[in-house]
Structure 1
């Protein structure tokens, strides 16, 4: 199985070349094109895991499996404009719930609650846990870059900018500053990450972008 990403940056697309009998799993709606004899199966990947993905992680209840019966090629793209990174999964990796794109069948997907939801910030921090060994394609809103944390090295990241991090990284979620900073400082929740391990960060904040768009939509104040 060969992964290749083209148009890196704002409008990246992932191409996967499959040999006979190979399978790639992907987020529903992510497929762009297919070449060759490819069978598509839709499954939950386990009913309990699917329920957690849907109701906790905000992900689709189902996942699509693409099984190649010939030498084939398939492409995927995320919903939001941004970059794609193909990473190696070794044991465990935590992924922000909207950043999953595709992965090899050897990787299982579960949902983990990463922190808390505060009355003031209106944010939650849910993570997908990728377990096993193989390659996974993760997506970002905007550009994506990664930092390799040494043992004991720490970084603080806004939760809206987190893409994912290795299971070896310790993390804790908290409000940004005090209540005044949370209410008036334009920040909500941040996550403190302590190495060792990889941390992936996106250059744009999708929740903040969505809220900005909402504020531009005229409100109907007419009485009915």
Structure 2
């Protein structure tokens, strides 16, 4: 298996599979593939983590009830996955004792031994997070996963007990050894939630955290004033942007 990330602003992950090799993805992530790639649906991500409860946990975390497996038949094949927003696609090695937590829509694909499940689901009042609340996925098992992060990536290595307070949308990925908690920081009037204070995520070491500069929700809300209710762009702004942003807002 050989994986290459092509491009810069809107990268594409291309994976060349030898005969019999496979990757798994959330349903519908495919961009293009060679004709000898066989697609099949599964509820088991591998690594011995099947069953109804694990399937439901994966769906809550953003992975979907069904996963799609892409396997090369009759020789080597190619499968590609394009980024959905400007940013980066990064590889992550998963192993027993080294789980990784990623944002809800971060996991693109992985080798069959990687199993996604829910790490946290926290509801917020108001519509700032698109009505979905704050949801994180845990990638566990053994193998390699590829994760999409929006915008630029800033990484910190937190010492034991060291804490970083992060806006929920900017949480991209972090080691499972990092503790996380929702906290309300007083001092700023918040017109969406009412009263004083804003909700932030407290990430406490030890471990590495990767923060993203452009969350999908931030991009959508920045462009929302230029859209009308049906997802089309206001007069004079161009229909292509309306279609793109309308799709983001419906996610």
Same fold (TM over 0.5): yes
Correspondent of 2:116 among 84, 101, 109: 109
- 2:25 maps to what in 1? 26
Aligned pair count reads 216
For normalisation by structure 1, the TM-score amounts to 0.83
Q: Deviations over 1:66-115 (max 9, x none)?
A: 1122222221113223211111123311111111101111111111324x
Distance 1:188 1:60 in 2: 30
CA contact (8 A) 1:175 1:182 kept: no
Question: Is 2:214 aligned against 1:196?
Answer: no
Distance 1:18 1:219 in 2: 43
- Offset, 1:214: 3.2
SS at 1:177's partner residue? strand
- 1:95 maps to what in 2? 102
**Closer, same or farther: CA 76–118 of 1 in aligned 2, 3 Å:** closer
- Offset, 1:209: 2.5
SS at 1:11's partner residue? coil
Correspondent of 1:207 among 217, 225, 246: 217
Q: Deviations over 1:40-80 (max 9, x none)?
A: 111223443333343x3344332110112222222111322
SS at 1:146's partner residue? strand
Distance 1:89 1:79 in 2: 23
Q: What root-mean-square deviation, in Å, do the aligned CA atoms of Structure 1 and Structure 2 show?
A: 2.6
- Offset, 1:213: 3.2
- Offset, 1:194: 1.4
Question: Is 2:146 aligned against 1:137?
Answer: yes
Structure 2 unpaired stretches of 5+: 45-49, 231-251
- Offset, 1:215: 3.4
- Offset, 1:188: 4.7
- Offset, 1:119: 2.4
Q: Deviations over 1:4-33 (max 9, x none)?
A: 11113x201111121222110112232222
- Poorly superposed stretches of 4+, deviation over 6 Å: none
For normalisation by structure 2, the TM-score amounts to 0.75
**Closer, same or farther: CA 206–176 of 1 in aligned 2, 3 Å:** farther
